[in-house]
With several copies, the nearest count.
Chain A
Amino acid sequence: MAGRDDAVDLYRALALHRAAATRLKSLRDQGRVPAAIRCGRGYEAVSTGAARALRAASDGSGDAVAPTPDNAGAFFVFGGTPLQFFRQHLACGSAPGRGREPGMCPIDVERGLVGPAALPGTMVEVMAGVTLAFRLRGEDRVGLVFSGEDETSTSAWHEGTNFAAARRCPLIVVVQAGTETSTGVHTRARGFAQKAAGYGVASASVDGGDVLAVHRAVEEAAARARSGQGATLVEARGCPVSRRALRAAGADRERHPYEHPPDPAARFRVRLIEERIARASDLDEVERRARAAVRSACEQALGESPPADEYALGGVYDGDPGTPPWYRLEPPERGLALASTT
């Protein structure tokens, strides 16, 4: 984080995440998003702080990041647009995934966006391989994967992290850990950074609501990775905790930040103003633009059509056009064998 411009740029990213996440939450609350999805409020700092510590490019030469649906900020920093974001969530025919899958983004190899998740932990394995490829080709690139805290309980997370560690892949695993339920229910570890030694990787534990702290930790991890020192586990504490996890932990749901997620963007704003890096009016303008960009993207996406039904077919294999089942075509001739099995 160099000067004033950088800081305001960073705020711009936070504000865009915030605006998109807030908009998505209302769409969800209105029942306009088919799947009951995460919207990413409260993940502004960890998402943008981490992503901006990497090198984004659009020609396949930059770093790679695997965001969860909570990490809109990382998606935007790596060149995803609000329009793509809403198209994908709303399952528009024009969406990158053309409605075949929920979430935020399919893969964009040129931009280094690797998504979306399948089951928890899978993307740690996949990103281990993405960064293995960087190593094998001697490229100066690193990868970052966002993970939940309980995701660390999964087999995939373990095998992926251990593989990356063993092969010294330039991978950064960011564990987004809540405050109250981080430990005790699903793990007895005192913290998620404690897991690093078991894999023999470096670790850091930072406040996930502090964008600069996240940025710094990931910057250091990326430098380590680029210099051949392998993977790093970054624990981002204080991320939102889901309602279910809260209840499982017996925590008071009503008073917990999940219901009123902490706003890391607002926190950064206060800091920028207090430290006289930016004026409130400038930041108001940044926010206004973010909201406007989000509003217009969302409205455009809402006006677009869903994919044509037949798009359910085909594309399962290379060059597979997709054939409708025989009982959806012209009625077959009476008494004749069917021409095909589909």
Chain B
Amino acid sequence: MTSNSRPEHLARTLRGEPVTLLEAISEALFEEMERDPSVFLMGEDIAVYGGAFKVTRGFLDHFGAERVIDTPISEAGFTGAAAGAAHMGLRPVVEMQFMDFISPAYDVITNYLATSRYRGSGSVPVVVRGPVGGGNRGGPFHSQNVEMAFFHTPGLKIVYPATAYDAKGLMKSAIRDDDPVIFEEHKSLYRAPHLREVLPAEDYTVPLGKARCAREGTQVTIVTYGAMVHTSLEAAAALEKDDGVAVEVLDLRTLLPLDDEAVAGSVKKTGRLLIVHEDTRTGGIAGEIAMRVNEQAFEWLDAPILRVTAIDSPVPYAGGLEDYFLPRVSDIVTACRYLVEY
């Protein structure tokens, strides 16, 4: 019951046209479903409606209702079901309508999916994906970053792309990976016009666990990911222009496992490290990175490791409050200046 021709809006790359990050993800899902009949999708309103953000628009018609499944509001139920389907050899990709809604599935993800292999029950190749992040006036329950809810759970992988190219390549790797993967997609990047790019027409993947150098520099290393890659690049450009400071920006791409080598390597070059994350401060990923750099590159540090992050509170709703809550270009500039002058 599935049509053979690829829907027009999912063939941009084939036509050599640039795609947004959202379109890159849609293409990745579509191509993986074509490539591997064991891949299927579940989520709220993803089938007939095409998803709250339209990531799966056109999928139902193409792949049919058996592979594009609308679920009840039961994040735990369908994530647990994904694990069961994975046991039977399928590769489910589960959408959280907003990643904030992953919290009812916290139990099944951390206790069941993450531990299955270790406990002897085999791999559970499930991808849990969805939109994250602030700046969209979504308030406390539609704006969260969820990486730190899962970063402490051995057995999970966490991916958080910043570009269309990476989003497509990482999504393909995540689907093909034999471990459960949490895949975060920043809402503000979904349709950002400046992130449109022409992607390779052929099948490609981006390996999990490898950071990307987004800008080379020699004086300060910024380690970051997601939307903050772009905020950091803006700050780096300003620092170059205004202060002549050469900032290196490392885009982690995968948060778990962390690319220790890339981080330590850059710190050994620059001697100064700023970690930037949009997520709130206490218990954010900056801590683990700081700890590892202590373990691996302490001697190379010429200044304390610092961080620029969101404020320790729920994500507020009103525009001014949310803007105040989030990290800014000027925060990064100030912190880098402090480090360079240290």
Given contacts A119-B103, A162-B72, contact A97 B88 (CB under 8 A): no
Q: Which residues of A contact B86 (CB under 8 A)?
A: 129
**Complex Cα distance A96/B292, Å?**
35
- Cβ of A30 within 8 Å of any chain B Cβ, yes or no, is no
B286 to chain A, nearest CB (A): 11
Q: Which residues of A contact B74 (CB under 8 A)?
A: 153-155, 159, 162-163
In the complex the two chains form, is B324's CB within 8 Å of A309's CB?
yes
**Which residue from A91, A100, A310 sits with its C-beta under 8 Å from B118?**
A100
Q: Which residues of A contact B107 (CB under 8 A)?
A: 119, 122, 155-156
B87 to chain A, nearest CB (A): 6
Q: Which residues of B contact A159 (CB under 8 A)?
A: 72, 74-78, 80, 104
**Which residue from B111, B179, B331 sits with its C-beta under 8 Å from A327?**
B331
**Complex Cα distance A104/B323, Å?**
22
Residues of A within 8 A of B (CB): 34-35, 64, 91, 96-103, 106-107, 109, 114-116, 118-120, 122, 124-136, 150-151, 153-156, 158-160, 162-164, 166-167, 185-187, 244, 247-250, 306-318, 325, 327-328, 331-332, 334-335, 337-342
Q: Which residues of B contact A124 (CB under 8 A)?
A: 80
Q: Which residues of B contact A338 (CB under 8 A)?
A: 295-296, 304, 306
In the complex the two chains form, is A150's CB within 8 Å of B72's CB?
yes
In the complex the two chains form, is B73's CB within 8 Å of A317's CB?
no
**Complex Cα distance A197/B338, Å?**
65
**Complex Cα distance A250/B92, Å?**
24
Cross-chain pairs A/B with CB under 8 angstroms, 12 sampled: A97-B119, A118-B141, A129-B84, A129-B92, A133-B89, A150-B72, A306-B319, A312-B311, A317-B179, A327-B308, A334-B341, A337-B299
**Which residue from A35, A244, A341 sits with its C-beta under 8 Å from B292?**
A341
B99 to chain A, nearest CB (A): 12
The 10 closest A-B pairs by CB, nearest first: A129-B84, A125-B80, A159-B77, A99-B318, A129-B81, A153-B72, A106-B120, A133-B88, A97-B120, A186-B72
**Which residue from B85, B103, B121, B178 sits with its C-beta under 8 Å from A132?**
B85
Highest count of chain B CB atoms <10 Å: which of A124, A248, A337: A337
- Cβ of B7 within 8 Å of any chain A Cβ, yes or no, is no
In the complex the two chains form, is B120's CB within 8 Å of A126's CB?
no
Residues of B within 8 A of A (CB): 40, 45, 47-49, 52, 66-67, 69-90, 92, 100-101, 103-104, 107-108, 111-112, 115-123, 137-142, 154-155, 157, 177-179, 257, 260, 281, 291-292, 295-299, 304, 306, 308-309, 311-314, 316-325, 330-331, 334-335, 337-338, 341-342
What is the interface of chain A mostly: helix, strand, loop, or mixed? loop
B318 to chain A, nearest CB (A): 3
| New contact pairs (20) apart from A97-B317, A107-B120, CB-CB < 8 Å | A34-B317, A34-B318, A100-B318, A106-B122, A114-B84, A119-B111, A125-B84, A126-B112, A129-B84, A150-B73, A162-B72, A185-B70, A248-B49, A248-B70, A311-B321, A312-B324, A314-B313, A315-B313, A318-B178, A325-B309
In the complex the two chains form, is A128's CB within 8 Å of B77's CB?
yes
In the complex the two chains form, is B90's CB within 8 Å of A133's CB?
yes
In the complex the two chains form, is B308's CB within 8 Å of A309's CB?
no
B56 to chain A, nearest CB (A): 13
Residue of A nearest to B323 (CB): A309
**Complex Cα distance A162/B142, Å?**
25
Highest count of chain B CB atoms <10 Å: which of A91, A306, A315, A331: A91
In the complex the two chains form, is A133's CB within 8 Å of B85's CB?
yes
**Which residue from A102, A128, A328 sits with its C-beta under 8 Å from B84?**
A128
**Complex Cα distance A214/B90, Å?**
32
**Complex Cα distance A85/B225, Å?**
39
Q: Which residues of B contact A163 (CB under 8 A)?
A: 71-72, 74, 77-78, 81
**Which residue from A125, A315, A327 sits with its C-beta under 8 Å from B77?**
A125
**Which residue from A97, A103, A115, A155 sits with its C-beta under 8 Å from B76?**
A155
Highest count of chain A CB atoms <10 Å: which of B77, B108, B342: B77
**Complex Cα distance A250/B341, Å?**
63
**Complex Cα distance A127/B331, Å?**
42
Highest count of chain B CB atoms <10 Å: which of A130, A132, A339: A132
A222 to chain B, nearest CB (A): 18
In the complex the two chains form, is B81's CB within 8 Å of A132's CB?
yes
Residue of B nearest to A127 (CB): B84
In the complex the two chains form, is A316's CB within 8 Å of B313's CB?
yes
**Complex Cα distance A178/B142, Å?**
25
In the complex the two chains form, is A309's CB within 8 Å of B311's CB?
no
Q: Which residues of B contact A91 (CB under 8 A)?
A: 317-319
In the complex the two chains form, is B112's CB within 8 Å of A154's CB?
no
